[in-house]
Structure 1
Amino acid sequence: MDETLGTALRRWRDRLSPLDVGRPARPGRRAAGLRREELADLAGLSVDYVVRLEQGRATSPSAQVIASLARALQLQPLERDHAYRLAGLLPPQEGTISTHVPAGVQRMLARLGEFPVGVFSADWTLLSWTPAWAALLGDPSARTPTERNLVRAVFATGPGGLAAWPVLPEGDALNPALVADLRTALVSYPHDRGLISLVEELRSTNAEFTRLWDEGAVGPHVSARKTVVHPQVGEVMCDCDVLTVPGCDVRLVVYTVAAGSADAEKLEFLRVASGVRADGPSPPGPSLFSAP
């Protein structure tokens, strides 16, 4: 029997341990791998849609849906491309930005649940996040993929525009670094229409972006101190670090606070209030795309 997208999804789902995605392995659990409900939650899909995909009743999933499932199932690049082909789609082409998050990064993210961590693609679109990220900065799941782009948010609304409430930086190193990143990404991904459109959009609508771009702005990402003005706990002063992953073009943005400080108490309150576990794995936020 020829393999279908449904049979492949079931096989990939069965091989994942709940612990691999930050879910507790409770005693008496019958399912060997992930339940459909867990896959749906991780991928930002409805359970009914996952059921229809596995049963072959949903026959035309979009590329966004396949990308979301590939991240949730922690597929390797060749497996991801196989999933695209089973869905009747072309895999992502060379010269375009990948939204693939390596399995190792996803496992690490699942075990960093107590820290606010966001995973971004080469064009600074938020791909995934920990529950603590949503607790500190606001839940990104209500935003569209366009609204989850940090560069667009920063230059459209000012520093911290991706957050649901103000994030006030110390210093002005972020904007030149973001422009430099987009310039580098254009060299690496010259055929990515989304990236080209983003640069064209900002050059035509934002004077500061245009100035930095025309000046050939360069600037590495450095550790920075930022103040999050949270509606429940007020100001939370955090250190923000950008970590790159060798071998793939994703970066992790990590917020931390000094142990034993008032800021640590505020972050702990937000974690508890949102149900984030500090004593074990917590599931990462949903994938970039939502679907039926």
Structure 2
Amino acid sequence: MAPSRSGFPGLLRAWRDRLSPADAGFTVTDGRRAPGLRREELAQLAGLSVDYVLRLEQGRAKNPSSQVVGALARALQLSRTERDQLYRGAGLLPPQDGTVSTHVPAGVQRLAVRLGDVPIGVFTADWTLVWWNTMWSALHGDPAVLPTAERNLARALFGDGAARASMLPVRSERGPDALAASIVADLKDAASRYPADAQLDRLVRELRETSDAFAHQWATPTAAAQHTTDRKTIRHPRIGDILLDCDVLIVPGADLRMVTYTAAAGSSGAGKLDLLRVTGGSQARVNNAPGQYT
């Protein structure tokens, strides 16, 4: 049901009041007065400053970007209809059908929040990271330091920017080239299904022009297996090598990939994840920031 208050500021306040802090991954303590999320909690989830959220709610900040509105919609766990209403309230066209969706359904977010002990990252069809939890940041480094365009796995593998520089050394049991080949296969599939998506087209053109390895993979007619399940050794700068099972869970109807890392109980990997939980879990709780993480 749509909130009774209209206009972007009213929608923002009403949906912030509606969202349960527990569903957003926050611990609810006795004496909490706010019926929903506090303003600073929404700011943290959306990767915005508290002052900017305040100005948006007061109507003093005009013309938020589509990236900001998309991040707020994900943070507020809006339905597609509500998301579109928020875009229109900001004077923007909602995301069009036929383009890669960055919408993360509320049920997916609630599920991921309840699996907080597991590193989880949610990726779009073009392998752009749009949602992650604290354990993901503890394992891979905080995506908050990267601009939006660089939070993309293809750019991390084939680019020469911040995404590539921030990626930790990873060794796959399927071999050194398996991950790269499977990501290119996924991008080919996405490009065939979203031919009108300008951002995806720009990503592919950029990597074909700047990476010989990507250009070669893109021109190779042999189909590689899509990226689904793997066993990886991640070289963490503080803890060293961590052997983990990496599973990619497809979200039907949303065209999202939920990537999880787990280890068998009692294994070395499980012990190192426990250590990460203690030593690396003090960063941002969850995030889906629009452009930068400040």
How high is the TM-score relative to the length of structure 2?
0.91
Preserved contact between residue 179 and residue 213 of structure 1 (Cα < 8 Å): yes
Q: Distance in 1 between matches of 2:165 and 2:196?
A: 26
Partner of 1:15: 18
Preserved contact between residue 68 and residue 289 of structure 1 (Cα < 8 Å): no
Preserved contact between residue 148 and residue 162 of structure 1 (Cα < 8 Å): no
Q: Distance in 2 between matches of 1:275 and 1:222?
A: 26
Q: Distance in 2 between matches of 1:291 and 1:275?
A: 17
Preserved contact between residue 113 and residue 283 of structure 1 (Cα < 8 Å): no
Q: Name the aligned partner's letter for residue 19 of structure 1.
A: A
Q: Distance in 2 between matches of 1:122 and 1:92?
A: 15
Task: Answer yes or no: is 1:179 the counterpart of 2:184.
Answer: yes
SS in 2 for 1:247: coil
Q: Distance in 2 between matches of 1:185 and 1:233?
A: 36
SS in 1 for 2:225: coil
Farther-moved stretch of structure 1 (198-207 vs 26-35): 198-207
Change (3 A) 1:78 1:184: same
Task: Answer yes or no: is 1:285 the counterpart of 2:290.
Answer: no
Q: Name the aligned partner's letter for residue 266 of structure 1.
A: K
Task: Answer yes or no: is 1:262 the counterpart of 2:268.
Answer: yes
Partner of 1:144: 147
Please list, as runs of the form range in 1=range in 2, the aligned pairs for 1:181-220 lying within 5 A after superposition.
181-216=186-221, 217-220=223-226
Residue 93 (structure 1) aligned to one of 70, 78, 96: 96
Q: Structure 1 residue 291: deviation in Å?
A: 7.3
Q: Name the aligned partner's letter for residue 77 of structure 2.
A: Q
Please list, as runs of the form range in 1=range in 2, the aligned pairs for 1:217-228 lying within 5 A after superposition.
217-228=223-234
Change (3 A) 1:226 1:78: same
Task: Answer yes or no: is 1:241 the counterpart of 2:247.
Answer: yes
Partner of 2:277: 271
- For structure 2, the residue ranges without an aligned partner over 5 or more in a row are none
Residue 8 (structure 2) aligned to one of 5, 10, 23: 5
- For structure 1, the residue ranges without an aligned partner over 5 or more in a row are none
Q: Structure 1 residue 183: deviation in Å?
A: 1.3
Q: Name the aligned partner's letter for residue 143 of structure 1.
A: L
Please list, as runs of the form range in 1=range in 2, the aligned pairs for 1:33-72 lying within 5 A after superposition.
33-72=36-75
Farther-moved stretch of structure 1 (181-190 vs 171-180): 171-180
Q: Distance in 2 between matches of 1:272 and 1:2?
A: 42
Q: Name the aligned partner's letter for residue 225 of structure 2.
A: G
Q: Distance in 1 between matches of 2:164 and 2:260?
A: 17
Preserved contact between residue 135 and residue 281 of structure 2 (Cα < 8 Å): no
Preserved contact between residue 128 and residue 288 of structure 1 (Cα < 8 Å): no
Q: Structure 1 residue 114: deviation in Å?
A: 0.9
Cα shift readout 1:20-70 (whole Å, capped 9, x = no counterpart): 111111111111111101100000001111110111101111111000000
Preserved contact between residue 18 and residue 36 of structure 2 (Cα < 8 Å): yes
Please list, as runs of the form range in 1=range in 2, the aligned pairs for 1:129-140 lying within 5 A after superposition.
129-140=132-143
Cα shift readout 1:122-164 (whole Å, capped 9, x = no counterpart): 110111111111111111100111211101111236xx94854
Residue 230 (structure 1) aligned to one of 228, 236, 245: 236
Q: Distance in 1 between matches of 2:277 and 2:126?
A: 29
Q: Write out the 4+ residue segments of structure 1 that deviate beyond 2 Å after TM superposition.
A: 160-165, 274-277, 282-292
How high is the TM-score relative to the length of structure 1?
0.92
Change (3 A) 1:259 1:200: same
Q: Name the aligned partner's letter for residue 150 of structure 2.
A: E
Q: Distance in 1 between matches of 2:37 and 2:255?
A: 27
Task: Answer yes or no: is 1:128 the counterpart of 2:131.
Answer: yes
